[in-house]
Amino acid sequence: MTEHMRGLSAWADLLAAGRTPRFALICLGVWLNAADALVTATIMPSVGADLGGYAFFSWSVAGFLLGAILAGASAGRFSEILGLRPATVVAGLILAAGCVVSAAASSMSLFLLGRFVQGFGSGWMSGLAMVAIAFLFPERHLGRVFAAVAAVWGLATIFGPLLGGLMAHAGSWRTVFWLFAGQAVLFSVAARFLLPGEATAARSASVPWRQLALLCIAIAVLGAADISRRADVALALVGLCLALLVWMLRVDRQARHRLLPRTAGNLGAVPGAGYAAMFFLTATSVGFLIYAPPLLQQLHGLTPLAAGYAVAAHAMGWTVAAFVVSGATPRTADRWIRFGALCIVLGAVLLTVVMRQSPVPFIVAAAVVMGLGFGFSSALMNRRVLAALPDDDRATGSSALIAVRQAGEAVGAAIAGAVANLAGFGAGLTLASAQSTAFWVFVAALPLGTLGALAAWRMTQLPSGPGSQI
């Protein structure tokens, strides 16, 4: 049998045994999450001009992520308590409600409230998608499932900025959120019929309230950091947030009813090192996703649509690279993970050099390098972490794949927001503030990328398999 025929056979096996409609539902959920991020990045300059509040610009992402962290971290636990189907239905309805609030907002505060609610729905939806993948698909299919997820992201890179750019050009940014509200309702209806009522065996009906309380406090501290007018205070609050997250991990590890896998905070275990790599590498990239659209419009004269596609090059690189490594063997996967982490750091370095005044193709190339890094590493990290999780941690551990990345995005957004406001962005988008922001936001990302690359290297040095640690 030729390699082409074996590939077709593997995809046919993936979609067999009634898995096709469930696979399509997961892809719809991924589309809602991916397109939301890209569309919102494209239309935010129009939202800022309409509603005001440039000092709160990064909250379009940070507010979304604060809700997503809380929801994503608890998604696995609540899927055990409620069952996958009802939890997923609720997630879609919450997302729809948040979209309605943002669409109808008359002020930036109401818009950001809607973004928070959207984040909660999207975080729960994304976490539950990882639970569904972990429990509804055999391990032999995980590489192709994650490649298909990357393909959906690729479609979002094409249609998301197009939709956002067209709506921004027409002065109808609110229409975007009405459209997403309708899609979220459709997702909930489909989930009611396509998902099983129970995806996991609930260990008990107990909720890990102490861990959730610490997580809420950490999120509140992070929110205070992002609206602080003083960069030194904001960065100190980010440090406090990280300390609270570490405390939450320690409490969770010793708790009877856990929110995360027991090894989540242990860098000597594959899940712990993998989560750390995901957290810091994701934090490295978020400054580009938030600030590149307005910077490209101000410094390089791009239209909202063109700026959206320049940012989408990052996601397109991710998609292409994910397909390249979808069939990687365990022997080669670790090398791809290390190479991908290095590409992410290299992309951040390049952006510090080219964003201010280099030609746009150089900026796009730097974004593609960073996107390739995520494509080479992210799915393979997911596979390695899932393989290392024992059965009783599989639901919480799989949902944490999303929650940890969203936590990294929120922390990265808070740091980028503090640095951007210190550089003058919060006082208004001018040529001087754009030039300053275009340098310092990406410099601030370099330490985060370095920590992420070190954690990724650490993970690949550890033995695989459930319970493996040193």
DSSP string, 444-467: HHHHHHHHHHHHHHHHHHSPPSTT
pLDDT value at residue 394: 76
Instruction: Locate 379 and state its tokens.
Output: 């799915």
- What pLDDT score was predicted for residue 157? 62
Alpha carbon distances (Å) from 394 to 76, 79, 132, 390, 429: 8, 11, 11, 6, 46
Q: Looking at residue 201, what is its pLDDT?
A: 45
For the chain, the average pLDDT equals: 80
Alpha-carbon distance of 469 to 424, in angstroms, equals 46
Q: What is the rounded CA–CA span in Å between residue 19 and residue 105?
A: 39
* DSSP codes joined into one string, 293-327: HHHHHHHH---HHHHHHHHHHHHHHHHHHHHHTTT
Residue with the two structure tokens 């290297």: 457
Identify whether the C-beta of residue 139 lies closer than 8 Å to the C-beta of residue 466: no
SS3 (DSSP) at 2: coil
pLDDT tens for 50-73 read 776 665 666 676 677 677 777 777
Provide the token pair at 382.
Answer: 């997911």
Q: How far apart are CA 225 and CA 233, in angstroms?
A: 7
For 377-404, write each residue's pLDDT tens digit: 988 898 889 888 887 777 778 777 877 8
3-state secondary structure of 52: coil
Domain ranges, ordered by start, for the chain = 18-461
Judge whether 347 and 370 are in contact, CB under 8 Å: yes
| Nearest one of 52, 178, 46 to 110, comparing CA atoms | 52
Identify the weakest region by mean pLDDT among 89-93, 408-412, 425-429, 447-451. 425-429
Note the pLDDT of residue 112. 85
Partnered with residue 469 across adjacent β-strands are: 269
Nearest to 46 by CA among 150, 189, 176: 176
Residue with tokens 């959730």: 212
pLDDT digits (tens, 9 = 90+) for 415-435: 888 888 888 887 777 888 888
Whole-angstrom Cα distance, residue 99 to residue 181? 5
Give the CATH H-level superfamily of domain 18-461.
MFS general substrate transporter like domains (1.20.1250.20)
The confidence score (pLDDT) of residue 266 equals: 85
Residues 6+ apart with CB under 8 A from 154: 315, 316, 318, 319, 320
Which amino acid is residue 404, in one-letter code?
Answer: V
> Which alpha helices (DSSP H) does 83-208 contain, by range?
84-103, 108-136, 142-170, 173-194
Percent helix, strand, coil in the chain, to 5, is 85, 0, 15
Is residue 456 scored above 90 in pLDDT? yes
Threshold 0.85, pTM exceeds: no
State how far the Cα of 69 lies from the Cα of 43, in Å rounded to an integer. Answer: 23
